[in-house]
Amino acid sequence: MNAPLSATPRPIAYPSLVEDQRIHGSVYTDPAIFADEIDRIFSRGWVFLAHESEIPNPGDFVTRKLGLQSVIVTRDAAGGFHSLYNRCPHRGAVVCQAEAGHRRSLTCPYHGWTFAMDGALMGVPAPGAYEGLSAQPAGLAPIARLDSYGGFIFGSLGADGPNLTTHLGKAVEWIDQLCGLSPTGRIRLSAGWMKHKMRCNWKMIVENQVDGYHAPMVHGSLLAANETFASVRDRKDSSPTRVHDVGLGHTDIDHATDYRTTPDRLFRWTGGVPEAKLPNYVAAMRESYGEADARRRLIDGPPHSMLFPNISLAEMNIMVIQPISPTETIHYSTPVLLEGAEEMNARTMRRCEGALGPAGFLIADDAEIAELNQLGVANLEPEWILLNRGLASEVVDAEGVRTAGLMDETSQRGFWRHYRDVMSAVGGA
């Protein structure tokens, strides 16, 4: 039985809440668990901050959340990347209110201390009063670690722990797969972000991103209203699509295993558009990769994956899941634009708007269900959430990658297995 009004005992024994086949409902509601997550996962672990293409030029910056911290991600005069706490070293004011922009320097709105884009202090008004003092004015504080892969910049507030490559593990293959849809191997996230407020725990959305079971139910209205969406992929239990848990909490729904069953058709991943409608894109891909390899890329399409903890390479979109409180989350979405494929990009923009965000034909309904899910787990019985679907048919290969059918909960189990490791580890992520 739950003890409804008593708090979870401290320290929290995560293995007793996150079992192999079931999850205790309190992990979605308990403020102490949320605080632990912000510390262990979203502060000490690696978290996506920005894509290099969002700050292409010296002086460009964006402000982002790393856990609950506001940080400024900048490009300095030499083109180098920095991530700085958004807090003035003088008396603590937020230095940068703008979400994005281009500046020669950053000036604090309170007393006017000015910082270079790498955070170094450039000047303070009336500096004479600091002469002879031991505590001298200093610059903006950098976060502990910053690194990038495939243009995706990640940060961590913790000085220790695995490096980014170790954290990403096999997920780098999905980043490569996505970038490899561009004839130049580079993508751009330059269209801005939709910001979707959801009244649910962040993990509801993570689990849903790689849930192959819900589409007929949650997205039935779209399947009925728009035949294109219905016809491009097989959404039945018998679908050739596989789900994978590739370890370290990274999981995917591999639609390519379905698309490869129709090797005569390219572009099933973008509404099954006829090849003849994207002639320049197809030609550029052939030019870059050769006939056979270009064809393979255009059959397979982009990954549909969820990288631990909160960035999803969601086909031709990037989606980021930002925790706000145990019951509030913001879901950010932006289309993936391919360098050297403008013809494709126009299409991707409009498909992103159609499917995603608060008005999207898909995600509005996912958001609704996530909110119902959150309301549901606030009710106390039965206190466990079941995650054992498809367990018996799961196949584990020599490298530990787990594979199962489209509608199996292998992907959710993969997330939770790593979650439990991180939350239980001595010293955090």
Partner 1 sequence: MTVQTLQPSVAIDHDAIAQFLYREARFADEHRYDDWEALWADEALYWVPIGEDPDPATRISYIYDNRARLASRIRQLKTGRRHSQEPASGLRRLISNIEIETRGEEIVTRSNFILVESRRGALITWAGQAEHRLRKAGGDFRISAKTVRLVNSDEPISNLAFLI
Applying CB under 5 A, which residues contact Fe ion? 366
What is the token pair recorded at 94?
A: 């937020």
Alpha carbon of residue 206 to chain centroid: 9
* 113 to 142: interface string for ligand FES, x by CB under 6 A: x-----------------------------
Stretch in the footprint of partner 1 (CB under 8 A) among 31-39, 102-110, 131-139, 350-358: 350-358
Residue 286 within binding range of ligand FES, rule CB under 6 A: no
Quick one: which of 18, 33, 55, 88 contacts ligand FES (CB under 6 A)? Answer: 88
Closest CA to 309 of 249, 369, 372: 249
Q: Which are the contacts of 328, defined by CB distance < 8 A and separation ≥ 6? A: 197, 198, 199, 200
The residue within the footprint of partner 1, chosen from 346, 378, 380, 395 (CB under 8 A), is 346
Q: Using omega within 30 degrees of 0 as the cis cutoff, is the peptide bond preceding 382 cis?
A: yes
What is residue 177's three-state secondary structure? helix
Q: Which does 222 bind (CB under 5 to 8 A by kind): Fe ion, partner 1, ligand FES, none?
A: partner 1
Give burial (CB, 10 Å; 0-12/13-18/19+) of 228.
Answer: exposed
Interface characters, 154-193, with partner 1 (x: CB under 8 A): ------------------------------------xxxx
| Residue with Cβ nearer ligand FES (110 or 384) | 110
Please work out the total of residues on this chain that contact ligand FES, with binding judged by CB under 6 A: 10
Task: Select the binding partner of residue 408 from partner 1, Fe ion, ligand FES, none (C-beta < 5 to 8 A, by kind).
Answer: none
Among the residue ranges 87-95, 213-221, 318-326, 371-379, the one whose residues contact ligand FES (CB under 6 A): 87-95
Concatenate the DSSP letters of all residues of 210-278 into one string. T-SSSHHHHTHHHHHH-HHHHHSS--STT-S-EEEEEETTEEEEETHHHHTT-TT---GGGTT--GGGS
Strands, sheet with 69-75, edge to edge from the N-terminal-most edge strand: 81-85, 69-75, 60-66, 100-102
CA distance 424 to 429: 9
In the complex, the residues that contact ligand FES under the rule CB under 6 A are 88, 90-93, 108, 110-113
In the complex, the residues that contact partner 1 under the rule CB under 8 A are 99, 190-199, 218, 220-222, 224-226, 330, 333-335, 346, 349-350, 352-354, 357-359, 361, 364-365, 367-369, 371, 375
